[in-house]
Structure 1
Amino acid sequence: MTVSTVARAAALAGVAVLTLGLAGPAFAESTSQTDPADVGGASLTDIRKVTLNHGTEQVITKVRFTDLQETSEAGPSGMTIYFDTRPGRKGPEFRLDTGLQSGTDYQLSRVQGWTSPGEPLSCDHSLRLGWATDVATLRVARTCLGNPAKVRVAVKMVDLYDGSHPVTDWLGNPRSFTDRVAKG
């Protein structure tokens, strides 16, 4: 091989690596929605951003807060994530309820519309509260949600720091959802 042939081959290989590296395989489709600091400083757990990833095996929802705290000096705060998996049906089909402090528990359950949850589901799901990053990360196996083609979420936070004046914050407007995300 000549020097110019080797140089051309190396250049083509470099272009291929850059092209494949930039395009890469898509393992999840996602959407993000920001939420303004809209509770007027009344809660450290003001919702600031939600990211939804719909992968081939699981649905991952990340909720960023103003200042997620491991402990509370007074009342606790909690979060509910509603999953809408059936576009033809009004309202969500699943919800996850959790506290936002250390030692809290969480449960995923079926719902019809926005009503009270049914029995807790025992399928594969997990929640991680990242106090250093101010992010709650929920992972739910797609099989838990009935292997939906598309999914969207609504997120609500309630802070009971002052029990006589609970602070409620929704991502966007009350009972509003993110965009629908197809499976990646």
Structure 2
Amino acid sequence: MLTAPAAQADGENFRDRAGDAPAVIDVLDVRVQNFQRVVVTARYDDLVDGRSGGWTVYVDTNKRRVGPEFGVSGGLSTGTDYSVYRVRHWKYLSGPRSCPLDMNVNYRRDTSTFTISRRCLDRPGSIRVAVVGGKSARDGSWIKDWAPRRHRFYDWVARG
């Protein structure tokens, strides 16, 4: 009997630099599972309900086009909304798409997870992602942590 390699069976894990943002939004690593559904999990240094701002996963589905085609955004506090948007040049093109999507925030594990239907992303093959966590500072400015870096993606993850 043949089995998939461990990395494919579990998805792909990517590291981010620690300590480059406030702990509540400091992304430490990102896990991408590209199977029947696309599942993206970010782990933070110290995720705290009510103080954590929001996060966006930018999803690149087209190797011929520069930048992401989709953005999946949500809050990092209990009861916040979350949505999928079409994106071009890292900016939203329209209002939220109506499609199957779920978000889970686990403060004990310091993680946030989006589970996205493939239909919602126009049924892609390989994908790559960038994650940004953000929160407002006391002066009203917005503090962000890009993983891996601003307007850069992790490696492509083949559909399993």
| Structure ranking higher in helix proportion | 1
Deviation at 1:174, TM superposition (A): 0.6
Deviation at 1:28, TM superposition (A): 5.2
**Runs of 4 or more off by more than 4 Å in structure 1?**
25-29
Look up the match of 2:60: 84
Look up the match of 1:39: 20
Distance in 2 between residues matched to 1:105 and 1:43, nearest whole Å: 22
Gaps of 5+ in 2: none
Look up the match of 2:46: 67
Q: TM-score, normalised by structure 2?
A: 0.89
Look up the match of 1:104: 80
Gaps of 5+ in 1: 1-19
Count of residues in Structure 1 that have an aligned counterpart in Structure 2: 158
Distance in 2 between residues matched to 1:162 and 1:131, nearest whole Å: 23
Look up the match of 1:121: 97
Cα offsets for 1:101-151 (capped at 9, x unmatched): 112111111112212241211111100011111110111111111111110
Cα 1:116–1:163 shift into 2, 3 Å: farther
Deviation at 1:180, TM superposition (A): 0.6
SS at match of 1:181: coil
Q: Contact between 1:39 and 1:167, CA under 8 Å: does it hold in 2? A: no
What RMSD over aligned residues (CA atoms) do the two structures have, in Å? 1.9
Q: Contact between 2:40 and 2:114, CA under 8 Å: does it hold in 1? A: yes
- Please tell me whether residue 155 in structure 1 is matched to residue 135 in structure 2: no
- Please tell me whether residue 133 in structure 1 is matched to residue 117 in structure 2: no
